Structure 1
Amino acid sequence: MYKVSFKVSESAGNLLQELKSSGFVPLYYRKDKGVENYVALIRSNDLNEVKDAILDFAILAKRRGRGGGRDFATIYKVNDQIMGKAFGSTLGGLLGLKLAGIPGLVLGALGGLLAGEILDVNLGDSIVGVEQWPISLTD
């Protein structure tokens, strides 16, 4: 699995639908000084597929009048770990059991599992490379 961080010029609206159409699962986005930062996951183990999805996203962003620079997409390899999921679901389940009984145990374990997955994605990554905005899409 790969995590990609995009930097796109800011405009009205966001590109979350274009990100989903390109095969990415959006995690979050924020606006900062005229630049929109998107972070998304893609469930692929092939780096070439990831680069094709980045190109697809760039084409869709260009149709909406957006552009990027030399650091358009930063690619991270996410190592699949289970420590965060195990710790999160255990802690969430125990807290849920203490506070709300059996229904709290189930909901706490599911919430902890989700929190552990997010923790694993954010802490278990290593940078693979940086892609620039495709030259063929420049004005």
Structure 2
Amino acid sequence: MYKVIFKVNSNGKFTNSLKTISKAGFIPVYFKRDKGIEEYTALYRSSDINEVKEAILDVAYMLSREGKVGGYDFAKIYKIEEQYLGKAAGGSLGALLGYQFAGIAGLVLGVLGGIFLGELLDIELGQTPMGILAWPIQQLTG
């Protein structure tokens, strides 16, 4: 699995592109906007880096059709190693706390929430930087 962080200049357009990123096969995780720069964090389930690069090119093409552009640091790519420690610890802790506070229903919700948070922890701890891709679309001027 790969994690990609996209940085896009919105050019005054105040729309988010989560739908666009998910159309290219990415799973959006996080979005923030700061002074006209949009930053998207997304996951891509694949073991082939070339497939991820093709999906990044698709995202760039679709974003350019929306009037958005990227820079030299358009896409930061990280390889995620599959780990289970965070999911196991999160699920166990979530189940214990959920059962203590809300009984059986809390146990179920605690397990699901704990596994989700454990997955995010596994992603952060198991990532290896793979590289940075610049904006691949040629800008036409004039």
TM-score strictly above 0.5: yes
Q: 1:39 aligns with which of 31, 38, 41?
A: 41
Decide which of 97, 100, 103 is 1:101's aligned counterpart: 103
Compute the RMSD of aligned alpha carbons: 0.9
Q: Which runs of 5+ in 2 are unaligned?
A: none
Question: What is the Cα deviation at residue 137 of structure 1?
Answer: 2.9
Q: Is the CA contact (8 Å cut-off) linking 1:94 and 1:105 kept in structure 2?
A: yes
- Match of 1:67? 69
Structure 1 residue runs of 4+, over 6 Å off?
none
- Counterparts of 1:49-68 in structure 2 under 5 Å? 49-68=51-70
The residue aligned with 1:137 is 138
Identity of aligned residues (%): 52
1:1-25 CA distance string (max 9 Å, x none): 0000000002221111110111100
Equivalent residue for 1:2?
A: 2
How much does 1:66 deviate?
A: 0.5
Distance 1:138 1:55 in 2: 14
3-state DSSP class of the match of 2:68?
coil
Contact 1:62 1:137 in 2 (8 A): no
Q: Which ranges of structure 1 fall in alignment gaps of 5 or more residues?
A: none
The alignment covers a number of residue pairs equal to 138
TM-score, structure 2 length as denominator? 0.94
Q: Which amino acid aligns with 1:88?
A: G
Partner in structure 1 of residue 124 of structure 2: 122
